[in-house]
Amino acid sequence: MAAAAVSCILADGWKGGALPGAIALIGYDQQIVSTCLTICTWSQSQGQSQNHTRMTKVGLTDPVAFEWPPLAIFIEADDPSIAECARACRKLRAANVPIRLEIVDPFSNSPAEDLTDATISEFVSEVDAFFDAHLAADFPKMR
């Protein structure tokens, strides 16, 4: 459900809708990666056709490109999709998508009694640090 929502937000952003300042994803989701790659393809094809048309007809400057929000995928070290996720992140970075992969200690499959406050606190701190790095300048009350 969350993956579909993020995919819709990104697709709406491509069409001119509002985008969040940063997006953190917990775990790998192929649907989101597919949406991102589709937007990259749209962006490249639109830019090429608009550049050619503008340059030959009216000589205007390049069109404004879709501006990606910073993305982070937080994935557990024991997640079986970690290699696929890493490949997807490299592919997206090659397409100029500002995405980073953060590998975190496993905890989602741990019994509740094995989870410590320190483990949870460390994970929350990593997510907070991502948002601080990308949003705090625009939203100082976050701190």
**Predicted confidence (pLDDT) per residue in 104-138, tens digit:** 887 755 555 566 677 778 888 888 999 888 887 77
Bridge partner list, 75: 103
Tokens for 37?
Answer: 């790659």
pLDDT of residue 72: 95
The percentage of residues in the chain with a pLDDT greater than 70, rounded to a whole number, is 73
CB distance 114 to 121 below 8 Å: no
Helices (H) and strands (E) in the chain, counts: 4, 3
- The confidence score (pLDDT) of residue 50 equals 53
Give me the half-sphere count of Cα atoms (radius 13 Å) on the Cβ side of residue 36: 26
**Torsion sign over Cα 15, 20, 22, 28:** negative
Among 33-37, 49-53, 56-60, 65-69, whose mean pLDDT is lowest? 56-60
